[in-house]
Amino acid sequence: MTKFTYTQKQDTRSGFGAGLAELGRINPDVVALCADLVGSLKMQDFIDENPDRFFQVGIAEANMMGIAAGLTIGGKIPFTGTFANFSTGRVYDQIRQSIAYSGKNVKICASHAGLTLGEDGATHQILEDIGMMKMLPHMTVINPCDYNQTKAATIAIAEHQGPVYLRFGRPKVPIFTPEDQKFEIGKALHLIEGSDVTIFATGHLVWEAIVAEEELAKEGISVEVINIHTIKPLDVEAVLASVSKTGCVVTAEEHQMNGGLGDSIAQTLALHHPAPLEMVAVNDSFGESGTPDELMKKYGIDAENIAKAVRKVLKRK
Amino acid sequence: MSKKNIEELEQIASQVRRDIVRMVHGASSGHPGGSLGCTDFLVALYFNLMERKDHFDPDGKNEDIFFLSNGHISPVWYSVLARAGYFDVAELATFRKINSRLQGHPATEEGLPGIRVASGSLGQGLSVACGAAQAKKLNKDNHLVYILMGDGEIEEGQVWEAAMYAAHHKVDNLIATIDVNGQQIDGPTEEVMSLGDLRAKWEAFGWTVMESEGNDMASIVKSMEEAKTLSGKGKPVMNLMHTEMGYGVDFMVGTHKWHGIAPNDEQLASALSQLNETLGDY
């Protein structure tokens, strides 16, 4: 079994920027919009190479979602870029009516998701975005785990017909998945095989799950780690196959417990294969200013907390 | 499509008004007031002004396209689309009923020909129209994008985001119209939320502004031909169109009371007695 290591850390938003630049070179229908956060979203390469296919919208996210919906009429594939907070909560009705209900081929690309944007604090640390987006009919929700996977996901969603929410972040996190991987929407990835418990993790918490697995292995616990990069549509088959083998589950995500990946897994288990479940997520709370590491520890979403949840769920088996 | 002359347009408008009151009566719900007020404008657009394909092309490439942002006046749009041949007029009888493609507010979900984006939650259409106009530019398509909004609707902040955007990005293949009927659900706009000097506001946002009379067919066609000549000059075009809500049915004219209610049997009979059946009822 592969054990995962890394030599480099990078922010997932840079993976998005690299993927978007690549799309600019290979797909003439791809256009990009940004609401005054070009630097934060790493969109400059795309803009330099394709100035005519970039639309600066200014600080007007509601308008950006409508413009993007309109650009699809005539065959363009718009990628919108702003922070996750302003990509979802601020513009929920615009996304709901002009994009999701209208079946528009818009890719909503959202950076600075979750607590780990850090020092800016709770006004910007959205922890409800996955929930809001997954509730919308027609919406695909993707939360890749590292730079390489974010780049691959960015390229892959251009080929998918329909609205997509792509979530990534600001902190530098380990790069442990292959360069130039093929990204398959909706296909869970088995990273580590195990028999006692399954950890379903999403986003950069996948790395935390890998770290937790190493610790737990020393205690003789056999942990299966699965990367759920696509929260909707959920790979139900993979979830059920794994839980049938291990019999208990821990979920891990940088999101509210309400409405996140854990919620989706809980629903799947309750409907098809009831099993003990512990959720590592933020528990009905806003965030606060701090460093990413401090925040992950304080809000209980780091490797140590994942390991604790595993020990707890095993006792409930 | 052959262009209809003024007399023909007026005859179509009379039938569309009959369709509107019959649809709203049949569903016992809907929005007759704004629909009747904008009938002449939509008829002129679809049967004279727009260069459009006979069949519905969702991408609207190489043709003029229209967006209705104030989606609650769906009855007038549905009737015009049906009368223009996008779908069978018999389908108008399904308006607002279960399993219908004619939803209360316009939607793409059921695949009704003629609709390119859902509307109803107000203030979103101008943004969509700007995006579609920019897609036309990218596609080197020289056709125009038309959009209609309500005057109450521009109380929504997103409209002004789009207004700023369209001027900044020189979206000059866009002709926007505001239905200035001075009414909204809770009463006259002057009482609910004064709109102030609309011309000055849109000019200050960088638009070319013109005004027109929206319940006189000859005047609409003339004004919109003028609007076309104003396009392509580096600025978006705003047509402030003065209409009377409920125009064509005497007891519905000029009041917000018929914004969103249906006529009863007696009121329907009275309305129909004022409107000639020119093309045959559905």
Cβ-count burial of B2 within 10 angstroms (0-12 exposed, 13-18 middle, 19+ buried)? Answer: exposed
Tokens matching residue A17:
């920027």
CA diameter of chain A: 59
Closest to A193 measured CA to CA, from A246, A230, A244: A246
* Residues of A identified as active-site: 61
pLDDT band of residue A2 (cuts 50, 70, 90) is low
Q: pLDDT tens-digit profile of A226-284?
A: 999 999 999 999 999 999 999 999 999 999 999 999 999 999 999 999 999 999 999 99
Q: Give chain A's length.
A: 317
Instruction: From the options 3.10.180.10, 3.40.50.970, 3.30.420.40, 2.40.30.30, give the CATH code of A9-174.
Output: 3.40.50.970
Ranges in chain A annotated CATH 3.40.50.920: 189-315
Q: Is-contact A104 A163, C-beta < 8 A?
A: yes
Quickly tell me which residue has 């292995």 as its tokens. Answer: A217
Closest to B263 measured CA to CA, from B43, B91, B25: B25
Give the burial string for B89-103 (b: 16+ CB within 10 Å, else e).
bebbbbbbeeebbbb
What is the mean pLDDT of the segment spanning A64-75? 98
Helix, strand, coil abundance in chain A, percent, nearest 5: 40, 20, 40
Q: Tell me how far apart the alpha carbons of residues B85 and B73 are, in angstroms, rounded to a whole number.
A: 19
Residue of A nearest to B126 (CA): A66
Model-level ipTM above the cut of 0.95: yes
Q: Is-contact A111 A170, C-beta < 8 A?
A: yes
User: Is the CB of B65 inside 8 Å of chain A's CB atoms?
Assistant: yes
pLDDT band of residue A21 (cuts 50, 70, 90) is very high
Instruction: Look at residue A283 and give its three-state secondary structure.
Output: coil
- Please answer yes or no on whether A66 and B127 come within 8 Å at the CB atom: yes
Closest to A259 measured CA to CA, from A126, A65, A168, A93: A126
- Please answer yes or no on whether A60 and B130 come within 8 Å at the CB atom: no
Residue type present at position A20: L
What is the mean pLDDT of the segment spanning B229-233? 98
- Please answer yes or no on whether A102 and B108 come within 8 Å at the CB atom: yes
In chain B the domains, ranked by start, together with CATH numbers, are 6-273 (3.40.50.970)
Percentage of residues in chain B with pLDDT exceeding 90? 98
Residue of A nearest to B139 (CA): A74
Give the architecture-level CATH label for domain A189-315.
3-Layer(aba) Sandwich (3.40)
Alpha-helical (H) ranges within chain A are 12-26, 38-41, 44-49, 61-72, 84-87, 92-94, 129-135, 147-157, 205-218, 236-246, 261-272, 292-298, 303-315
Q: Is-contact B179 B38, C-beta < 8 A?
A: yes
Select the residue of B127, B133, B136 nearest A63 (Cβ to Cβ). Answer: B127
Q: With 90 as the cut, is the pLDDT of residue A106 above it?
A: yes
Ranges in chain A annotated CATH 3.40.50.970: 9-174
